[in-house]
Structure 1
Amino acid sequence: MSIEYIPQMFWVQIGDLEVPDKMPTFILKYTGKINIALGKPASQSTTWRNFSASRANNGNRASHFSSGSCSHTEHETTNWWQVDLQGMYSIASVFIVNRDTQITGYYGYFLQDIEVHVFQEAPSSGLPNGTVCATHIPAMGANATLQCEAPVIGRYLRIYRRSSETVETPKLVFCEVEVYGRPVTTCGGMWG
């Protein structure tokens, strides 16, 4: 990510003359992308051992499970991981780092049948009811970028494990979640 400051001179009309204003103004131009989920409050449906939700948005992309950078839910039929972005954003994509990338043939199934939902208000702990941003059906490899079909506006992002499977891998495990988008502002109560 880079931020570029562009000096912008404003002119003042004095009679028939246009003269430069005394103070140049700088316009902030965003020229890259930033992970808007980094270090924000995270939660998950359940926690297996001490593999908490906050491990998945701490900026550490290490994928080996023993590195302490992975989150992990208990075995259950509906699993989810969530981040509170602490503001309204237009969300464009989500980047997910899978567990133990050297053996993703097995661990890729932990991230099969996932769906990304975005909410403007805090969601309930039940089934998905937000705006769908993206879905990923096949087993995931080392990592994946899930592009929203169209940018979705919201404050909370939740990743669901859509599968109702109850044998072998009914859990949600990943080592980093990065969310990319831009802040939105309100104008007369409307998002824009």
Structure 2
Amino acid sequence: MKSLLLFLKSQVFGLTVETLNGERNGDFEQQKENHGAKNVAPQGIPYQSSYYGQKEQAKRVIDGSLASNYMEGDCCHTEKQMHPWWQLDMKSKMRVHSVAITNRGDCCRERINGAEIRIGNSKKEGGLNSTRCGVVFKMNYEETLSFNCKELEGRYVTVTIPDRIEYLTLCEVQVFADPLEVDGTEASDSSESVDGTEAPASPESDVELPIASGMNVDLTNKSFMFPKESDINHVKLLPEKAMSLKAFTLCMKVLLNVPENRETILFSYRTMFYDELNLWIERDGRIGLYMSGDGIIFPRMKFKSEWNHLCLTWESKYGRTEFWLNGRRSATKVYHQKNTVRSGGIVLLGQDQDSYGGDFDKTQSFVGQIKDLKMWNKVLPLRSLKSLFKGREIGNGNIFDWSSLSYSMIGNVAEV
């Protein structure tokens, strides 16, 4: 499946240490006066991951105009794809104070939610592994937000929507930055030659690169193996549908290799500020479900050297929540009645997210194997849940399905 990335205008600005951190929404001419840095974006070279229309679209993002009507030619727009991106080559290494982006004004304001601004010295894969400057939580139509990059250094500025299939649209990007000087001379970027070919770049020490990824991969008869305790190893899952849920069924098989009396994360879905859906093995072996607050506890799962089949169902109207273990209903409880699971988050296997997409604790990491994960945006009937445990065909999950899974593996994770 392809995703569309729509770009709005972006400009990059510099902020002094005296200015407020984080998002800013205000007078950019005043910012320039305060920072003493100019918008260098118009002098750069723009690229993007794909083109919904003409390739000239990429340049519209740095034309100095905050006009935000895509249909009138004000913005750039990618195809719908996994982690779409727009990137600016500033032609030399710069000290970036701030970056401002302008959202589309005529349609689809929510597409930009979750976008990340990244600064670095490699244009490989659109700079998706560069250092993060900021994250867009939410933007209104035509809105311009400025992000304090705290003098991050690099040649490339990237705006991307990570970990989901989406369009990226930007109407303006502004970059406020100063040339990076070394011994009185402006530094050049040795990672790229004059003819535009990229030389080998040293990886950033704080970034773990994906070791494998795939779109709609059939993993039948395979599993993800997490060999040891780690604060790195994980798998990011990309849903087929937006995870705005008033009901769900989540099923998977797990083979544990952890001692008793240890918390272990089974499934982590987090938006910017909330744990939307986390499934745990508690210290005493019981199963814990946490959805944006206090959780509920289900009976203990036996720690055996064998596969266990787990299914969890929940619906919002009455709050009916059921936990199934190896084809049998283990418990039924009422939980989070009238609640909604919010979309726009990150789904991980292997790690619990103490913050959006990060802050992992290796003492809670999953160790063992996971396979046959499926998820629906509805509660499956009893007969289907029993059939699923017996290995019978009941149809594909419409959010995740093991026979057509989109994912990225990070760290020491293997398909076996």
Report if TM-score (shorter chain) is over 0.5: yes
The answer (yes or no) to whether the contact 1:133–1:151 under 8 Å persists in 2 is no
Identify the residue that residue 181 of structure 1 maps to in structure 2: 177
Equivalent position SS for 1:74: strand
Identify the residue that residue 49 of structure 2 maps to in structure 1: 45
Choose between structure 1 and 2 for higher RCO, CA contacts under 8 A separated by at least 6 residues: 1
Q: Structure 2 stretches of 5 or more lacking a match?
A: 1-31, 188-416
Give me the TM-score of the superposition, normalised by structure 2.
0.34
The answer (yes or no) to whether the contact 1:118–1:157 under 8 Å persists in 2 is yes
Equivalent position SS for 1:49: coil
Matches within 5 A, 1:1-192: 32-50=36-54, 52-100=57-105, 107-120=108-121, 122-125=122-125, 128-164=128-164, 166=165, 170-187=166-183
The answer (yes or no) to whether the contact 1:77–1:163 under 8 Å persists in 2 is yes
The answer (yes or no) to whether the contact 1:81–1:159 under 8 Å persists in 2 is yes
* Structure with bigger gyration radius: 2
Equivalent position SS for 1:66: helix
Change in Cα spacing, 1:137 to 1:183, as seen in structure 2 (3 Å) is same
Q: Deviations over 1:127-161 (max 9, x none)?
A: 72111111112244422333235210111101111
Equivalent position SS for 1:110: helix
Equivalent position SS for 1:137: coil
Q: Deviations over 1:38-97 (max 9, x none)?
A: 142100000101262111112222111233121000001211000001122111111111
> Identical aligned pairs, as a percentage?
26
The answer (yes or no) to whether the contact 1:99–1:173 under 8 Å persists in 2 is yes
The answer (yes or no) to whether the contact 1:111–1:140 under 8 Å persists in 2 is no
CA separation in 1, counterparts of 2:37 and 2:143? 18
Equivalent position SS for 1:76: strand
The answer (yes or no) to whether the contact 2:85–2:126 under 8 Å persists in 1 is no
Equivalent position SS for 1:57: coil
CA separation in 2, counterparts of 1:110 and 1:147? 18
Give me the TM-score of the superposition, normalised by structure 1.
0.70
Moved more, 140-149 or 37-46: 140-149
Equivalent position SS for 1:96: strand
CA separation in 2, counterparts of 1:186 and 1:39? 21
CA separation in 2, counterparts of 1:94 and 1:82? 12
The answer (yes or no) to whether the contact 1:118–1:154 under 8 Å persists in 2 is yes
Equivalent position SS for 1:73: strand
- Report how many residues are paired: 153
Equivalent position SS for 1:38: helix
CA separation in 1, counterparts of 2:103 and 2:140? 7
CA separation in 1, counterparts of 2:158 and 2:126? 11
Q: Structure 1 stretches of 5 or more lacking a match?
A: 1-29
